[in-house]
């Protein structure tokens, strides 16, 4: 199975697409305005202590106070608080913990009012991004994630991922890490550490310790709400978690981001730098890799299932509901049960893909087509379990009930991805009034003539709908070629499926869009005046 990571930079942020065998399986959008990412560590201030909830609200600079429950304080919260105070007040304080004296652990069933006071400052880590009307969810059990290991300060425990099943390998890794880790730092060994040698693991551990020391330097001069240690950006964190021998390409279209990712890949996997590519083509990145069309097809309310049938995906405040339908699928199965099994098996794979793609979390109920046979229900259940193994988020899946319902809970740490697939009518712009569609070619011809003759542009690029593109480029002596013989300048035509059939954009030689006054807008203006 081939894996490709395509990163497209826009004015609003970075769009990140993970393709498996050219099929979109994960999509992320990292907004440039996002300052609160899972894994970030802040110096927060206690705003309210709520004994009734056994929790506190912490100010970390977000518009809504973040939530911290007593169970997320960690057993060594008193030691952490002592460390923070020493870092900010003692000149001889050090980031190393080998000489740290641990305070008594807090009671697992204790009260938050006995530990935190209003106005107190403490180190907190975001474990869930702001979702809907809720602020971030926090924890004081700090951890720094690496490629193979997770570093846990103020702990001495070494644990191994349950997904590493070999007893010999678990023993080897645990013994190896115990011998190289610093005192009073715990380590969680990730699944991808399986089979790795001591040099790779040691390098990963040193990188995380370096991050901890940099955070300590920031903490010494930090003010309330300052970020102490920042998590990697979304694209780098995906590479950290997923980069392996199966990756074929990492494509980036932004020079600065390309340099950042190249430096990061060199630090974690120097042998994989050669798969990183800088895309400089004129066609939009997501257009070139056929991602734009997949996004439009995958994020609607209704999603087609390969091989027939479709899903209807509905979201409520409490849960997500996915309904499986056979549609008007023609098939060669001999009976209704065989048809239901076939559609449900295909739907099971698409459901798992949709959960990853939209990053749907919380409670999900899937209404499969009714099947009488318990064996068939078990087959569908096994397919969902197998497909969900590729998902990085934790999930729990229950077998299909006799009503044909499957219940899934999936870890939700950030807002659900949502792409509006509905479009404003390209011919009326949402006004309900249209010009004749044939006029779009007249507008394009007039714009080209005006810009090349009156404004003397040396070259033009025009982005237009594929149908209109075909109209201008078909045949040996196409209209595009006739423009060349008429103006002795070449006009580049580029397909853009994000545009409506009546829309087009003209770019100059510097790649800047040229503002045009269209006949369509003139017509709307005349109509509006007539109505007045």
In tens, the pLDDT along 220-253 reads 888 988 899 887 666 677 777 666 666 788 898 8
Beta strand 276-278 pairing with 247-252: parallel
Residue 518 scores a pLDDT above 50: no
Residues 274-292 pLDDT 10s: 888 998 888 888 888 888 8
pLDDT higher than 90, residue 189: yes
Alpha-carbon distance 138 to 74, whole Å?
11
Q: Determine the CATH number of domain 41-229.
A: 2.40.50.140
Contacts of 492 (CB under 8 A, 6+ apart): 282, 459, 460, 461, 462
Q: 């807090």: which residue's tokens? A: 106
Structure tokens at 350: 């698409």
Size of the chain, expressed as the number of residues it contains:
532
301: confidence class by pLDDT, cuts 50, 70, 90: confident
The answer to whether 3-34+234-291 and 41-229 have equal CATH topology is: no
Residue 522 has pLDDT above 80, yes or no: no
**Spatial contact of 115 and 68, defined as CB atoms under 8 Å apart:** no
Q: What is the average pLDDT value for the chain, to the nearest integer?
A: 84
pLDDT class for 140, splitting at 50, 70, 90? very high
Percent of the chain predicted with pLDDT > 70: 88
Burial 404-440 (b: 16+ CB within 10 A, else e): bebebebebbbeebeeeeeeeebbebeeeebbeeebb
Domain ranges of the chain: 3-34+234-291, 41-229, 300-410, 438-523
Query: Where does the pLDDT of residue 529 fall: very low under 50, low under 70, confident under 90, or very high at 90 and above?
Result: very low
Closest alpha carbon to 16 in 2, 30, 32, 36: 30
More confident residue, 36 or 64: 64
- Name, in order, each residue with C-beta under 8 angstroms of 144's C-beta and a sequence gap of 6 or more: 150, 151, 153, 208, 211, 212, 229
Greater model confidence, 506 or 239: 506
**And the tokens for 120?**
């107190």
Higher pLDDT, 309 or 438: 309
For 30-69, b/e burial (b = at least 16 CB within 10 A) is beeeeebbbbbbbbbbbeebeeeeebbbbbbebeebbbbe
**Is residue 526's pLDDT more than 90?**
no
Q: Rounded to an integer, what is the distance from CA 301 to the centroid of its chain?
A: 20
CA–CA separation, 524 vs 435, rounded Å? Answer: 9
**Hey, which residues does 413 pair with through a beta bridge?**
none
When mean pLDDT is compared across 82-96, 170-184, 377-391, the lowest value belongs to 82-96
Residue 398: predicted pLDDT: 94
CB–CB of 128/158 below 8 Å?
no
Is the pLDDT at 310 greater than 80? The verdict is: yes
* Straight-line distance from the first to the last Cα atom of the chain, in angstroms, rounded to the nearest whole number: 62
Contact 506, 515 (CB under 8 A): no
Q: How many whole angstroms from its chain centre is CA 321?
A: 22
3-34+234-291 under CATH 1.20.5, yes or no:
no
Portion of the chain with pLDDT greater than 90, in percent:
30
Can you tell me the mean pLDDT for 162-170? 90
What's the rounded Cα separation, in Å, for the pair 440 and 266? 49
Average pLDDT over residues 127-154: 87
List, for residues 446-498, the tens digit of each pLDDT value.
889 888 888 888 889 999 988 899 999 998 889 999 999 998 889 999 988 87
Between β-strands 362-367 and 395-397, what pairing exists: parallel, antiparallel or unpaired? unpaired
Mean pLDDT of 42-49: 92
Instruction: Report whether 158 contacts 177 (CB < 8 A).
Output: yes
Say what the pLDDT of residue 296 is.
80
CATH architecture of 300-410: 3-Layer(aba) Sandwich (3.40)
How far does Cα 167 stand from its chain's mean position? 34
Please, what sign has the CA dihedral across residues 486, 491, 494, 500? Answer: negative
- pLDDT confidence tier of residue 112, bands split at 50, 70 and 90: very high
Instruction: Report, in angstroms and rounded to the nearest whole number, the Rg of the chain calculated over CA atoms.
Output: 28
Q: Report pLDDT for 41.
A: 92
Across 290-435, the runs of DSSP E, i.e. the strands, are 302-304, 310-315, 319-325, 362-367, 395-397, 405-410
464 CB burial (10 A radius; 0-12, 13-18, 19+)? buried
Mind giving me the DSSP string for 481-492?
HHHHHHHSS-EE
Helix segments in 63-197, DSSP class H: 77-89, 167-180
β partners of residue 46: 58
DSSP string, 212-249: HHHHHHHHHT--TT-EEEPPPPHHHHHHHHH-STTEEE
Q: Could you tell me which residue, 45 or 501, shows the higher pLDDT?
A: 45
- pLDDT class of 382 with cuts at 50, 70, 90: very high
117: closest CA among 51, 175, 165, 167? 51
Closest CA to 294 of 206, 205, 210, 354: 354
The 491-495 sheet, strands edge to edge: 491-495, 460-464, 504-507
Alpha carbon distance 233, 456 (integer Å): 44
Report d(CA 202, CA 177) in Å as an integer. 8
Contact 205/187 with Cβ under 8 angstroms?
A: yes
The pairing of beta strand 491-495 with beta strand 460-464:
parallel
Confidence of residue 261 (pLDDT cuts 50, 70, 90): confident
**Cα angle, residue 456 at apex, residues 452 and 462 outer, rounded to 5°:** 40
Give the tens place of pLDDT for each residue, 403-462: 889 999 998 766 666 655 555 665 566 666 555 566 788 889 888 988 888 888 888 999
Residue 144 has pLDDT above 60, yes or no: yes
Task: Show the tokens assigned to 362.
Answer: 């919380």
């Amino acid at each position: 199975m081939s894996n490709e990571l395509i990163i497209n930079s826009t004015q609003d942020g970075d769009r990140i697409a993970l393709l498996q065998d050219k099929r979109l399986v994960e999509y992320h959008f990292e907004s440039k305005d996002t300052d609160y990412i899972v894994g970030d560590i802040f110096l927060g201030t206690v705003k309210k202590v709520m004994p009734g909830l056994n929790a506190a609200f912490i100010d970390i600079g977000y518009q809504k106070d973040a939530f911290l429950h007593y169970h997320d304080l960690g057993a060594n919260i008193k030691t952490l608080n002592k460390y923070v105070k020493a870092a900010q007040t003692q000149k001889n304080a050090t980031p190393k913990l080998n000489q740290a004296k641990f305070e008594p652990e807090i009671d697992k069933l204790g009260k938050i009012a006995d530990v935190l006071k209003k106005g107190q400052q403490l180190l907190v880590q975001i474990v869930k991004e702001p979702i809907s009307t809720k602020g971030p969810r926090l924890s004081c059990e700090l951890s720094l994630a690496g490629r193979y290991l997770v570093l846990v300060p103020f702990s001495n425990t070494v644990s191994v991922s349950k997904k590493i099943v070999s007893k010999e390998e678990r023993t080897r890794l645990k013994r190896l890490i115990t011998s190289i880790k610093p005192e009073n730092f715990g380590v969680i060994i990730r699944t991808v550490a399986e089979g790795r040698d001591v040099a790779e693991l040691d390098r990963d551990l040193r990188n995380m310790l370096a991050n901890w020391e940099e955070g300590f330097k920031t903490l010494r001069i930090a003010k309330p709400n300052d970020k102490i240690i920042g998590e990697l950006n979304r694209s780098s964190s995906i590479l950290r978690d997923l980069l392996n021998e199966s990756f074929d390409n990492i494509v980036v279209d932004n020079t600065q981001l390309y340099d950042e990712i190249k430096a990061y890949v060199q630090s974690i996997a120097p042998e994989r730098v050669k798969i990183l590519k800088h895309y400089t083509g004129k066609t939009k990145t997501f257009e070139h890799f056929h991602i734009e069309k997949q996004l439009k097809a995958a994020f609607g309310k209704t999603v087609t299932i390969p091989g027939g049938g479709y899903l209807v995906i509905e979201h409520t405040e409490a849960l997500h509901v996915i309904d499986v339908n056979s549609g008007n699928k023609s098939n060669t199965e001999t009976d209704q049960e065989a048809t239901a099994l076939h559609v449900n098996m295909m739907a099971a794979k698409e459901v798992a893909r949709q959960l990853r793609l939209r990053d749907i979390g919380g409670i999900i109920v899937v209404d499969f087509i009714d099947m009488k046979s318990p064996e068939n229900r078990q087959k569908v259940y096994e397919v969902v379990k197998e497909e969900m193994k590729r998902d990085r988020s934790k999930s729990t899946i229950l077998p299909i009930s006799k009503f044909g319902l499957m219940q899934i809970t999936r870890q939700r740490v950030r807002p659900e991805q949502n792409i509006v697939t509905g479009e404003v009518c390209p011919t009326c712009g949402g006004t309900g009034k249209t010009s004749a569609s044939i006029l779009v070619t007249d507008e394009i011809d007039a714009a080209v003539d005006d810009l090349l003759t009156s404004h003397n542009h040396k070259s033009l690029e025009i982005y237009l709908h594929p149908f209109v593109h075909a109209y201008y480029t078909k045949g040996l002596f196409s209209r595009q070629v006739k423009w060349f013989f008429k103006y002795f300048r070449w006009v580049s035509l580029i397909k853009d499926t994000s545009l409506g059939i009546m829309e087009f954009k003209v770019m100059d030689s510097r790649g800047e869009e040229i503002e045009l006054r269209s006949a369509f807008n003139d017509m709307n203006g005349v109509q509006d005046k007539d109505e007045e």
